[in-house]
Structure 1
Amino acid sequence: MQTLKFGLYNGGHLEQAATPGAAAYLVFQHGYKRGDYYQVEVDKAPAYLVVQLDSALSPALIYVTEKTWRYSIPFNDQREWPYPDGAFAEHRYYASVRFATADEIHARRNLAVNSHDLRGADHAFPHASANAETRGEYVFFARNAIDGYVANESHGNFPFQSWGIDQREDAELTVDFGRPVRIDTLILTLRADYPHDTYWTAGTAMFSDGSQLPLKMAKTAAPQSYSFEAKTVTWVRLTDLKRALGTEFFPALTELAVIGQDAQ
């Protein structure tokens, strides 16, 4: 049976450790310090894990490609915050990690969703990245487009975080799965804080296999779904996004879902 080690660290120093096993949890009663991070060590990599590192976050099924995965604790030091009130800010914590089951791994699901994605994350997937993020603010990071929240009638603080493109006409968003997945549907939820926002009328989904899918978009708060013949890919990219003509405001993406199954 595979085992994992789970601990809270700061600057390489172990603050608190869980009992090793196929599943582990930590309970502690003090606030986080700058530089704190969780570390998970597995016997073999790659591995599928289900993690919930704050009770305010939804559990996430992630794929780690290295034996050691670190999760740096976010700090609320900007004007707006993309997490629920109290996330990473209480003084009594419960954090857990376990190996995913075969049924969880192979289920048809949204393969892009990851409530625990971080900007610049390494070795943990799915992971979102972009060439533009409005003013470098947390509430406009690429990771917000795969966090599982679809509230889109406003912008800024949770639950209205989104991917903001910093008014770039060449903005692109990439979701990397870290391994082959078999997909057949994309679902886009545009931010719809009208009249503050505008919208995209069209774009292109590029895939790691070299194929492309044209996307026509409408001015709507409803999710917009695109189905296609199933393909095996390791990443998908939104590019060539076309802002509605005659508009000057802010197109943004609230959520991107990618539906399919693990191909491994």
Structure 2
Amino acid sequence: MHKITMKVMDKDYKVKAEMGGYNDVCLHYQENFQEGDMIILECNKNPSYLVIQLDETIGECIVYLATNIMAFEVPLRGNKKSYAEVSFLGKAHSLYARVASNKEIRQYRNLALNKYDHKSNFNCYPHVEIVNENVINSSKSQYITNSNSEERIELNIRFGRKVSINKLVFHKQSNSIQDSFWLDSFLKFSDNSKIKCDLVKTEVGQVLTFQQREVEWIRLCKFIKKNDDFHAFDISNIEVYGVSVI
């Protein structure tokens, strides 16, 4: 059995609330979150697949916890760019975590979805990061950067273990001039193979299918931005479909 513990800690690591359970846990926190508060999730077994919900307005998702502990700083004020204004507010919060079922773990799904990803996360997967540019937010796969110089931007999606994937869906805003970002772009896999990405400016999700591959990460490479453009790197969402390799 999995022993799971959920805690709320302040910026000085003082425990403000705590609840534990076997295979599932629910913590009802009846206070306002303060700046610097953290939600800590501990599990006696690692790695583990868990279904977590840290805020009712955001909902649950399946994550792969590579170590025994996950730390999530509660996003308030300026750290809240990808969440609703009402998220994490008020005095009534229901936080829960449970062990994912075998059916949930093995199902074909979007393996890039981690609603609680953040820039300091390196053990709760999937995790997204942007290289060679300022990371604004990675928690909901919303990638917004600004620069007026020529840059080469790479976007990494790490799964923390082997997964078998065969499809990506790109969602990209179409109300800005972004064609220069897609020059010579390609998708690289952890097995060192790569394929070309020919994407266009559209509000409709663009599907990229390929032969099934077992990988631990993927990298979107060579997003090139020219000097004469000043726009956001405005991929609004990336979905990666496949199954976990058990």
| Number of residues of Structure 1 aligned to a counterpart in Structure 2 | 241
Q: Deviations over 1:98-134 (max 9, x none)?
A: 1111100010000001111011212110000112555
Give the superposition deviation at 1:63. Answer: 0.6
Q: Call closer, same or farther: CA 1:133–1:95 in 2, change over 3 Å.
A: farther
Rounded Cα–Cα distance in structure 2 between residues aligned with 1:215 and 1:61:
28
- 1:89-108 alignment runs, 5 A limit: 89-108=89-108
Q: Which runs of 4+ in 1 moved over 3 A?
A: 199-202, 242-251
Deviates more, 1:34-43 or 1:56-65: 34-43
Matched with 2:62 is 61
Q: Call closer, same or farther: CA 1:2–1:169 in 2, change over 3 Å.
A: same
Matched with 2:166 is 184
Matched with 2:17 is 16
SS of the equivalent of 2:237 reads strand
Matched with 2:109 is 109
Residue 198 (1) aligns with residue 178 (2): yes
Letter in 1 for 2:36: G
Letter in 1 for 2:235: L
Matched with 1:149 is none
The answer as to whether partners of 1:129 and 1:143 remain within 8 angstroms in 2 is no
Q: Where do 5+ consecutive residues of structure 1 fail to align?
A: 146-161
The answer as to whether partners of 1:114 and 1:127 remain within 8 angstroms in 2 is yes
Q: Call closer, same or farther: CA 1:244–1:227 in 2, change over 3 Å.
A: farther
Give the superposition deviation at 1:242. Answer: 4.5
Matched with 1:258 is 240
SS of the equivalent of 1:18 reads strand
SS of the equivalent of 2:186 reads strand
- 1:154-193 alignment runs, 5 A limit: 162-167=142-147, 169-192=151-174
Deviates more, 1:123-132 or 1:198-207: 198-207
Give the superposition deviation at 1:197. Answer: 4.1
2:223 to 235, 241, 249: 241
Rounded Cα–Cα distance in structure 1 between residues aligned with 2:197 and 2:122:
29
Rounded Cα–Cα distance in structure 1 between residues aligned with 2:229 and 2:42:
50
Matched with 1:47 is 48
Letter in 2 for 1:239: C
Rounded Cα–Cα distance in structure 2 between residues aligned with 1:52 and 1:73:
13
Residue 141 (1) aligns with residue 137 (2): yes
Matched with 2:7 is 7
Rounded Cα–Cα distance in structure 1 between residues aligned with 2:139 and 2:173:
15
SS of the equivalent of 1:122 reads coil
Rounded Cα–Cα distance in structure 2 between residues aligned with 1:190 and 1:242:
16
- 1:118-137 alignment runs, 5 A limit: 118-132=118-132
How high is the sequence identity, in percent, across the aligned residues?
22
TM-score, scaled to structure 2: 0.90
